[in-house]
Structure 1
């Protein structure tokens, strides 16, 4: 199985995760999910693989989250999935899938636990230094 990353090139966290994957010696399948959103079935599968609730995958910042009333706790997981399908910007990123599992890689160094040969250390775009040992 290859590595797959649901990526937004405008997002620093996503760019950092992608670079850590590449520095580990892998070239992932890049899914620019704003251009090619996952199907509802794939989104349900990703939530299951990550072991999270649909609400845990929602992004608030820079999205129509508030305008759509998605803070309403009475909304079902299906309602939230429908909103993410209609507005892919609501899907938080980056999501990385490998043979070791899947994770929402926020912070980006969470990706290191999913890689067979993670880089020993990495300096993020903002200058923060992380290591594989500190990411676990």
Structure 2
């Protein structure tokens, strides 16, 4: 399983801790230090069953200043923005063999464990 992790985020740290209690087979991806490729984001979206707009952290300063007023609806453009500014991606993201969630709350994390048989 993978976690797209931001160590500066308390929810991400708490989610990583919960994962480590359940498994030692975790790939931690420090997504702010690595660059996303379009195919990787598409795979994440498929596992999350979400569209690119749902991955955006709309309260981030860069979103508000550069993109919010543009009313962007093209999914490919949103993906390009997420690749350019990974800070805009919701976190933490948990990806398993069959399923993925944005692990911002305990219910989502428990759902992930259940779906992945952990």
Moved over 6 A (4+): none
Q: Identify the residue that residue 46 of structure 1 maps to in structure 2.
A: 44
- Aligned partner of 2:91 in structure 1 is 93
Is there any run of 5+ residues in structure 1 with no aligned partner, and where?
118-136
How far apart in 1 are the matches of 2:57 and 2:14? 18
TM-score (norm 1): 0.76
Which structure: larger Rg? Answer: 1
Q: Which runs of 5+ in 2 are unaligned?
A: none
C-alpha change, 1:36 and 1:63, in structure 2 (3 Å) is farther
Kindly indicate whether residue 2 of structure 2 is the aligned counterpart of residue 4 of structure 1.
yes
Q: In the alignment, what sits opposite 1:29?
A: 27
Q: Deviations over 1:22-79 (max 9, x none)?
A: 1113341000000013211100111111111111000123340011223544431111
Deviations 1:1-22 (A, max 9, x none): xx10000000011111101101
Seen in structure 2, the aligned counterparts of structure 1 residues 100 and 113 have a Cα distance that, compared at 3 Å, is: farther
Q: How far did 1:106 drift? A: 2.0
The answer to which structure has the higher strand fraction is 1
Identify the structure with the greater helix proportion.
2
